[in-house]
Amino acid sequence: MVVLRLKHQRYMTALLSSTTILLLLYFQNSLLISSDGSYGFVSERSPCACRICMADRGNSNWFSERYNPNIPLLLNSTNSVLNANVSRWWKELQIVPNAGNYTEVVDQLFPLFPDKEHYSDIGSDRCRTCAVVGNSGNLLGSKYGPLIDFHDFIMRINKGPTEGYEKDVGSKTTHRIVYPESAMDLDNSTHLVLLPVKILDIQWLISAFTTKNITQTYTEVPSTITANKDKVMILHPEFIRYVYDNWAEGHGSYPSTGFLTLIFALHICDEVNIFGFGATSDGIWHHYFEKILTSYDIGIHAGRFENETINRLQQENKILIYKGWP
C-alpha cells in the first residue's frame, strides 16, 4: 500500500508539473504585471503587451470613427508632398507675409535632420507607456513627479519647466513639443518636436541650427537653441489637419499644442496618461509656473471643446486623466 501511495503521489506531482509548464507556455505572452502590482492577461489578439491597449479600437465606435492609424505623423522626405486640401488649409494659417516655397524649404530639412519613419514598431509585444504633461496649475501640490517619471515617454508642452517643480511635474523629458515662439534649450536626450503652423516655422528650425539669421516671426524668437539635431522631429501638416477635422471637429482656428500632443501620443503609445490638463470649476486656469489667470476658451483654440473631447477619451477608456488639485 505504501508503495502504491508513493507511486500515486509521484504521478500526481508529475501531472501537476506538466500542467504548470503547459499553462506557463500558453500564457507566456499574456501574463502581465501592471504598474500598480496587479495581475492580468493580455488577449491573444491584443494589439500590445499592456493590460489595456489604447489602440484596441474595437471597443469604442466613437473612437474608431475619429482615429486614423494611417495618418502621417511626422515629416520625412517620402511623405512631405501635401495634397491640395491640406496644403490650402495649412497655408491659410500663415499669418506672416512673404512665406517661402514649401518644397524648397523641405528640401533643406532632411540633409540636416533625421529622415526616416518614426515609431513604426507597434506590435503585440510592445507596451509603451506615455505621460503627456500639460502646464495647468492643478499640478501644484499634486506630488505626481515620481509617477510621471515612471513612464517610457514623457511629453512636455512649450516652455513648461521641470526645475524647481520636480515633486509635482517630474524631472525627465523625452519629447518637448514647441513652435518657434515657445522654443527653449533642451538636453541632449530630449526630442525637439516642432509644431509648424507656417512655413516660416520650418525655416526658423533650419536657421536655428545653421545660419541663425531668423529672429522674428510675428514676434521675437530665439535665433538659435541648444538641442540634439539628431532628435529633431516635425509634426506633419496633414496630421495637424487631421486633428483639427477628426478630433477638434473644426472648432477654433487650429488645435492647441497640448491637444495635438495628446493625439500624437495616442498614435505612438500603448498606454496614455495625462497630467496638468483642464481648468478650475470656474473655467479659469493658470500655468503652474505663472500666476496669471485666464479663461481657457479664448483666442484661436477651442479650449472648451478640446476639454470635452479629452474627458470623452477617458470615458471611452483610452486615456487616464490625473486632475491634480483645483
Residue 288 bears catalytic tag: no
Residue 162 DSSP code: -
Does residue 17 register a pLDDT over 50? no
Residues 6+ apart with CB under 8 A from 295: 283, 284, 303
Long-range contacts of 79-86, Cβ-Cβ distance < 8 Å, separation of 24 or more = 79/236, 80/106, 80/109, 82/237, 82/238, 83/238, 85/241, 86/237, 86/238, 86/241
Does residue 5 register a pLDDT over 80? no
Distance from chain centroid for Cα 165: 21
Q: State the Cα angle at 19 between 15 and 23, rounded to 5°.
A: 175
What pLDDT is recorded for position 293?
A: 67
Cα 27 from Cα 265, distance rounded (Å): 29
Residues of the chain with pLDDT > 90, as a percent, come to: 65
What pLDDT is recorded for position 34?
A: 37
Residues 186 and 299 in one domain: yes
Residue type, 303: G
Q: Is residue 281 situated within a structural domain?
A: yes
pLDDT tens track for 192-218: 999 999 999 999 999 999 999 999 998
Domain total for the chain?
2
Residues 112 and 220 in one domain: yes
Q: Across the chain, what does the average pLDDT equal?
A: 84
Residue 144 bears catalytic tag: no
Cα 50 from Cα 32, distance rounded (Å): 7
Q: Is residue 48 situated within a structural domain?
A: no
Does the global pTM surpass 0.95? Answer: no
Phi/psi of residue 156, nearest 5 degrees? -115, 160
Q: What is the mean pLDDT of residues 33-46?
A: 44
pLDDT band at 290 (very low <50, low <70, confident <90, very high): confident
Residues 257 and 144 in one domain: yes
The three-state secondary structure class of 31 is strand
Q: Per DSSP, what are the bridge partners of residue 156? A: 133, 176
Q: Is residue 235 situated within a structural domain?
A: yes
User: Residue 73 is placed in which grid cell?
Assistant: 505623423
Residues 142 and 9 in one domain: no
Cα 20 from Cα 244, distance rounded (Å): 52
pLDDT tens track for 103-143: 999 999 999 999 999 998 877 888 999 999 999 988 999 99
User: Residue 147 is placed in which grid cell?
Assistant: 509617477
Residues 166 and 18 in one domain: no
What pLDDT is recorded for position 13?
A: 46
Cα 32 from Cα 124, distance rounded (Å): 12
Residues 63 and 187 in one domain: yes
Q: Which residues define the annotated binding site for substrate?
A: 94, 135, 158, 218, 254, 258, 278, 287, 301
Phi/psi of residue 124, nearest 5 degrees? -70, -15
Does residue 230 register a pLDDT over 80? yes
Q: Is residue 167 situated within a structural domain?
A: yes
The three-state secondary structure class of 106 is helix
Cα 57 from Cα 192, distance rounded (Å): 29
User: What b/e sequence results for 31-69 when a residue is b if at least 16 CB atoms lie within 10 Å of its CB, and e otherwise?
Assistant: ebeeeeeeeeebeeebbbbbbbbbbbbeebeebeebbee
Does residue 24 register a pLDDT over 60? no
Q: What is the mean pLDDT of residues 91-102?
A: 81
Residue from 67, 254, 288, 322 carrying the catalytic annotation: 254
Q: Is residue 166 situated within a structural domain?
A: yes
What pLDDT is recorded for position 7?
A: 46
Q: Is residue 254 situated within a structural domain?
A: yes
Residues 36 and 127 in one domain: no
- Gyration radius of the chain's alpha carbons: 24
User: Residue 239 is placed in which grid cell?
Assistant: 496630421
Cβ–Cβ < 8 Å for 89, 242: no
Cβ–Cβ < 8 Å for 93, 198: yes
Cα 100 from Cα 279, distance rounded (Å): 38
Q: What is the mean pLDDT of residues 2-18?
A: 44
Q: What is the mean pLDDT of residues 161-177?
A: 98
Residues 286 and 149 in one domain: yes
pLDDT band at 299 (very low <50, low <70, confident <90, very high): low
Residues 74 and 11 in one domain: no
Residues 101 and 195 in one domain: yes
What pLDDT is recorded for position 125?
A: 85
Residue range of the domain that includes 26: 2-41
Name the nearest CA neighbour of 274 among 312, 239, 323, 316: 323
Cα 111 from Cα 281, distance rounded (Å): 49
pLDDT tens track for 27-39: 333 333 333 333 3
Residue from 191, 267, 286, 301 carrying the catalytic annotation: 301
Does residue 155 register a pLDDT over 90? yes
Q: What is the mean pLDDT of residues 277-282?
A: 66
Residues 98 and 209 in one domain: yes
We report the CATH number of the domain holding residue 199 as: 3.90.1480.20
Q: State the Cα angle at 57 between 135 and 321, rounded to 5°.
A: 25
Q: Is residue 49 situated within a structural domain?
A: no
Q: Which residues define the annotated binding site?
A: 94, 135, 158, 218, 254, 258, 278, 287, 301
Q: Is residue 50 situated within a structural domain?
A: no
Residues 189 and 300 in one domain: yes
